[in-house]
Amino acid sequence: MKRILLITTAVAGLCSAALPAPAHAKIALGTLTCTGHGGIGLIIGSKKSYNCRFKPTGDRPAEFYRATITNIGLDVGITGKTVMVWAVAAATEERRPGLLAGNYAGVAVDGSIGVGGGGKALAGGWRNSITLQPLSVQAQTGVNLAIGVSGLKLR
């Protein structure tokens, strides 16, 4: 089990490096934490829903979003409760409420046997200017392996 977690952690780090380097500096906006109850991988993909909380930097109030994550690629197994945390950065200093709403795409690697983890590095959102970088390896329970392209819709 430790070997799977170590491999998953290493591959999740590669997910962060897989996004193209931004043409301009990114500004840290805060952290996004999403939790869900898991689901079933359907061999060529999956679609799961999450409740998310965005905590902006500074003294701005938290924002709440509903997320749908779609994985395309190998996705086999069943997962239980899942928690994902991302550092949110943007090419803009705009801080309006609902700024994170939109569509994101990137790469994903998840795996678990009992307890496991993974990561999803994503870019998109408002004017395709927002990046979501895994702050920590996502934690999940179940028996699952997923590798592929991930899409995220935040509403």
* Angle at alpha carbon of residue 137, lines to 133 and 143, rounded to 5°: 130
| Overall pTM > 0.95 | no
User: Given this model, what pLDDT does residue 92 score?
Assistant: 78
pLDDT reading at 98 higher than 70 = yes
Q: What is the pLDDT of residues 13-66, one digit of tens each?
A: 444 444 443 444 589 999 999 998 766 655 666 788 899 999 999 999 999 999
User: Given this model, what pLDDT does residue 8 score?
Assistant: 39
H or E element, residue 95: none
Q: What is the pLDDT of residues 99-146, one digit of tens each?
A: 999 999 987 765 555 555 566 788 898 888 899 888 765 555 555 565
User: Given this model, what pLDDT does residue 144 score?
Assistant: 56
The number of residues making up the chain comes to 155
Which is more confidently placed, 120 or 88? 88
- Domain range list for the chain: 2-154
d(CA 123, CA 133): 9
pLDDT reading at 91 higher than 80 = yes
Q: Which single residue is written with the structure tokens 């591959």?
A: 11
d(CA 78, CA 42): 9
Lowest mean pLDDT segment, chosen from 24-28, 77-81, 150-154: 77-81
Give the number of other Cβ atoms within 10 Å of residue 152's Cβ. 27
d(CA 58, CA 65): 19
User: Given this model, what pLDDT does residue 118 score?
Assistant: 64
d(CA 60, CA 94): 13
Q: How many CA atoms lie within 13 A of 94 on its CB side?
A: 13
